[in-house]
Every structure is written in C-alpha cells, then in structure tokens.
Structure 1
Amino acid sequence: MNRTRSVLILVLIIAVGGAAIYVLQQSLAPRISAEQRLIESRRLLDMLPVGSYDNQPLDHPLTLKAPSLANSTLLEGYLASVAGKTSAVILRSQTLGYVGTIELLIVIDAKGKLLGVKTLRQSETPGLGGKIAAQPNGWLQGFFGKSRNDPPDSGWALKKDQGQFDQMAGATVTSRAVINAIHDALRYFDEHQAQWIESTP
C-alpha cells in the first residue's frame, strides 16, 4: 500500500512539475522570441550607419528573383529606409570558399555603393582563409565605397589575376570567392536598383 501511494505521489509530482514547466515555457515564449529577434537584428543591421534608417528592415524582406548568381547565391535581402525612401539594401550571400561555404552580409546604399561587408559564417582554414571572420576586418573594409563599376568589371579580381584587389595572405581561393560574391551582389543590386529604390516600405 505504501509503495502504491509512493508511486502515485511521484506520478503526481511529475505531472505537476511538467505542467508548471509547460506554463512557464508558454509565458516566456514571446520574450524569448523577442530577444532572439533583437539578437538577429543586431547581427544583420550593425553595418547600417546611425540615422540611415527609421524602419524595421527585417520587417521588409525583399523578393529575390533568380538568386543563384554566377559565383554565389543570395539567401535573403531586406530594405532599410528613411521617411519611406529606401536608404540601403541588406543582402545575405553564400559562396564556396576553399574548405566550405562562406556566408556574407553585404550592405549597399541607395546609390549602389558598398556600405559594408562582414562574414556571418565560414569554415575556412584557421589562420589563413579563416581570417575572413575577424572583426573588424581590414581586408573587407578595403571594399567599402566600391560599386559595380568602381572598379570596372575587369578590376573585380585579385592583383595576381590582373584585378585591383590584394588577397588575404595564404588564402587565394577564399579571397577570390569573397571578391566574386561581393561583385555578384553589386551586379544584382544594379539590375534591381530602380525597383528597390522606388519601394516605400
């Protein structure tokens, strides 16, 4: 009898505990979701200059048509705006490096100039191509202010390939992949600029 009562009490405790955990999870879910969204916002928006947008860009995703480009794939995009006018486009791009995929965040202003590039994910060789993930990243900063035609198409390559850009030391394949992905994104922006800049999120 005592054993049966003990088992019943244990089952009751487990049931009450499970119910309490469920209620707690449900009550915290909106807060957790909001915190996750805030973290994602910071990660994706930290390259936008202060005062360059007054909307919530993540609430204004772009429809990306034919996102598979010559050297990369666009995964998603967002519009940043001020007073209803597009101020920047945020593109998440994926390309193939030396070891595996490299995911980049590429921010372009309304005139087609590169505001920033950073690495979101990568699996390149530590100390070589893996340096692409360093923050701040002097090599990536060398692209800021560039556009599709500045330099011209032929200049979007490493100096060793008759282009205009230095490579990261010991990371030729990684460097080529990133340069090509940035140029892809700038070309894609150029092709859709009129449509995106007329958008009023």
Structure 2
Amino acid sequence: MVSFAIATYREQPWYHALLLGSACALVSLLLITGNATTSQPIQDHLTADKLAMLAQVLPQNYYDNDPLSETLELHSDSLVGPAVLMLARKNGELSACAMQLSTAGWGGVMQIIMAIKPNGELLGVRIISHKETPGLADKIEREKSDWITSFDGKSLINVSTKGWAVKKDGGEFDQFTGATITPRSVVRGIHQGLLLFQQWQKNQPPEATHHTQKNPIVEVHS
C-alpha cells in the first residue's frame, strides 16, 4: 500500500517540478559558491598581469599612486576602439602616463601599451597581443627583436610628422623584409597615441597635474 502511494505521487507533475526546482537550486548554490571563491583570485591575477606589462614600459620609481585605478578613455578615428590613458603620479604630481591602445594590423587587431613622459617623450613601447605572421612579422615582440625599442625617447617634437612612418614610406622607422604592413601599423598606432596624449594635455587646466580629477574624453579625428 505504501509502495503504491509512493509510486502514485512520483507520477504527479508537482513531484517532477519539485525535483527540477531542487536540482536548479543546488546548481545555482554551487555556481554562486564557486564564483565567490574564484572571482577574487582571478581578479588579482588579471591585476598582476596588467602591472607586469605596465612595468615593462613604466618603471615603478616613476609613480607612487595606482595608475590602473586612475584612467580615462581617449578616442581617435584611426584606432580600433578607445585608448585607455593611465595616469602615473609622484608625490601628487603627474610624472608620466601609460596608454593602452588597439590598431589594425595585417592579421588582425594589435594591442599596444606605451608610456609617455609629461614632455611627450616615449619611455617605452610593448606589444601586448597580435595575430601577425609568426617568423615574419612577429619581430614587433621584444622577445624576438629589439625593433620596438627604437621608439624609446621619440616624440612629436624630435620626429617630424612625415618621420612617423616606415622608411619605405619616407619615415624614420625600419620595416621588416616581406612584412611592411605590420611595422607600418605599429608606427601609425604609436603616432596616434602621442597625438591623443598631446591633445589631452592641451585640454587640462594647470592644476590637473597636481591632483586627481575627472578628465574629459578627448577625440582626435584624422
């Protein structure tokens, strides 16, 4: 009699709904618990990766703030999406800036990070990611070639507008044999980044270099 009653309610719609609801609740609980225990380590890992990449172009002795938390977006028609400007401060004053931007290469979008002194000179440039041809165009990577270091110390002042191009186009920068498009894209992206930084500086009131404040979005159309 008891087994018959059990078999009967197991055939009821509410019984199957209860089982499904319980299973969903259990899965949700497990997902919430898993997310709570892994989200912070993941975030910490991402932050560490960003700081490691930042350190390649912007030495720690240039700042005592957290540039990753003091950022703004800059826009240029020549870039893929907005550039992110990170402000580095020493004793409350602007000491340098790092900029992460994306530009179109031969194989796809390339992500670049570069650091700039307040006088507009480049401290360093690195390629964060790219999809260029291995063994041919990947000399943009610091591990493969020192080509990327040729931008150190360059600025809009000591390199003319025409000079911001590869030598094949009449500029100052070397290209790679059989792969001109990739270095051409990198040069163009860095030049646009410097133009954005210059325009942003012009829009800043004098006190902006002495304390943190909200900054306007800058757009460069070219």
Which residue in 2 is equivalent to 1:186?
A: 194
Q: Is the 8 A contact 1:139 1:168 kept in 2?
A: no
> Does the residue aligned with 1:125 lie in a helix, a strand or coil?
coil
Q: Deviations over 1:163-186 (max 9, x none)?
A: 222112322111111111111111
Pairing partner for 2:141 from 129, 133, 136: 133
RMSD: 3.0
Which is worse superposed, 28-37 or 44-53? 28-37
Distance 2:134 2:144 in 1: 17
Distance 2:106 2:73 in 1: 30
1:72 aligns with 2:82: no
Unaligned runs of 5+ in 1: 5-11
1:59 aligns with 2:78: no
1:156 aligns with 2:151: no
Q: Deviations over 1:36-62 (max 9, x none)?
A: 222222223432123101001010012
Equivalent AA in structure 1 for residue 117 of structure 2: D
Cα separation, partners in 2 of 1:175 and 1:21, compared to 1, 3 Å: closer
Q: Is the 8 A contact 1:79 1:88 kept in 2?
A: yes
Q: Deviations over 1:81-112 (max 9, x none)?
A: 11111111111111111222211112111111
Larger-Rg structure: 2
Distance 1:196 1:40 in 2: 29
Shift of 1:17: 9.2
Pairing partner for 1:85 from 79, 93, 97: 93
Equivalent AA in structure 2 for residue 72 of structure 1: L
Q: Is the 8 A contact 2:98 2:113 kept in 1?
A: yes
Identity %: 33
Shift of 1:22: 4.6
Q: Is the 8 A contact 1:76 1:93 kept in 2?
A: yes
Which residue in 2 is equivalent to 1:8?
A: none
- 1:30-49 mapped onto 2 (5 Å cutoff): 30-49=40-59
> Does the residue aligned with 2:57 lie in a helix, a strand or coil?
coil
> Does the residue aligned with 2:165 lie in a helix, a strand or coil?
coil
Shift of 1:131: 2.2
TM-score by length of 2: 0.74
Cα separation, partners in 2 of 1:87 and 1:135, compared to 1, 3 Å: farther
Equivalent AA in structure 1 for residue 158 of structure 2: D
Q: Is the 8 A contact 1:72 1:93 kept in 2?
A: yes
> Does the residue aligned with 2:184 lie in a helix, a strand or coil?
helix
Q: Is the 8 A contact 1:122 1:133 kept in 2?
A: no
Shift of 1:20: 6.2
What is the aligned length? 196
TM-score by length of 1: 0.81
Equivalent AA in structure 2 for residue 119 of structure 1: I
Q: Is the 8 A contact 2:139 2:147 kept in 1?
A: no
Unaligned runs of 5+ in 2: 4-9, 11-21, 213-222
